[in-house]
Structure 1
């Protein structure tokens, strides 16, 4: 019997100062939304969806061939998807330099996994989801404006992970299927 799992490739947020500042932001913004668990903060480099354990092993082997050098990402600014008047997700962005390095890394992942049949449905935009919004909460422009230039610290990116996501009533549980470390 094949095991089917929901998977993605991600850079985890692990810097304590960054996590603390994101936690403070989640506490201080006055909106009715579900905060993402601090242990689950990450950049999704590529979402792979439901795959078999055999395919997961192929993905793990392919990802292990990716080489990259460590780099620093500064966490700054906030935004929403799809728009302020009807937000579904609130996210924290990055500086240009770190963001561009994340885009390069996401492209390496995408190019490596394309021969296995994985393609991205939209271009990678570096962001960390910090809130998910299920209910219609209306226009949050004023609340967002207070934090538009917020700085959340920086983190050295030294690895990325192949992750499994198990959906539960209390939110997703993530587990590691593989890890690729930087070459420097």
Structure 2
């Protein structure tokens, strides 16, 4: 009997930023960085609550069932500063952070997601830190401390998050293409 190949999909759970004025403000900050790095496209801005990796269709169905039991209130997110992982002298990721209240609400939601998906075998490899990735840095770049310092205290506005999304990511040479597998609305 011939074996059938199991198709896998790359997936994650996230909340997205869909407010055009905030996305435009983020794009303006991105333009201030004169670096060789991959800028995250405006339409792909999100907080990854839990990266699930490559999973089967069957696992995706289990994830949808677990996520459908999540209950959360809308979260007002206030964007307040720019940072880098692991640091601004040799960054791998440049991100925008949020105020403490927003951060703690996003952490609560991420913890709830992990609690629901933990029994299915999904766990985070590190504690969730509320950050919106704006650049991914593949090759070593110069110290960007001065640019980061200019944005250590910014007000990009507020955005209310009302949807939790289970997403698929297809990696392409021109960047990832995301699609929604499930949307869970705030209550």
TM-score range, shorter chain: over 0.9
What's the counterpart of residue 113 of structure 2? 109
| TM-score, normalization by structure 2 | 0.95
CA-to-partner distance for each residue in 1:7-44, whole Å, 9 max, x for gaps? Answer: 00000010111101001111122322221011100000
TM-score normalised according to structure 1 size: 0.97
In structure 2, runs of 5+ residues without a counterpart are none
Deviations 1:133-171 (A, max 9, x none): 111112111121111112211111111100000000011
Q: Report how many aligned residue pairs link the two structures.
A: 183
Q: Of residues 76, 83, 89 in structure 1, which corresponds to 2:87? A: 83
Corresponding residue for 1:51? Answer: 55
Secondary structure of the 1:152 match is coil
Determine if contact 1:30/1:143 at 8 Å carries over to the other structure. Answer: no
Tell me which residue corresponds to 2:175: 171
The correspondence for 2:24, drawn from 20, 24, 29, is 20
What SS class does the counterpart of residue 100 from structure 1 fall into? Answer: helix
Task: Work out whether 1:137 is the aligned partner of 2:141.
Answer: yes
Cα displacement string for residues 104-132 of structure 1 (whole angstroms, at most 9, x for unaligned residues): 00000000000001111000000000011
Higher strand share: 1
Greater CA deviation, 140-149 or 43-52?
Answer: 140-149
Q: Distance in 2 between matches of 1:146 and 1:42?
A: 23
Aligned partners of 2:79, 2:35: CA distance in 1, in Å? 21
**Structure 1 runs of 4+ with >3 Å offset:** none
What residue ranges of structure 1 are gaps of 5+ in the alignment? Answer: none
Task: Tell me how far apart the structure 1 counterparts of residues 93 and 48 of structure 2 sit (CA, whole Å).
Answer: 14
Residue aligning to 2:100: 96
- 1:30 corresponds in structure 2 to 34
| Cα RMSD for the two superposed structures | 0.9
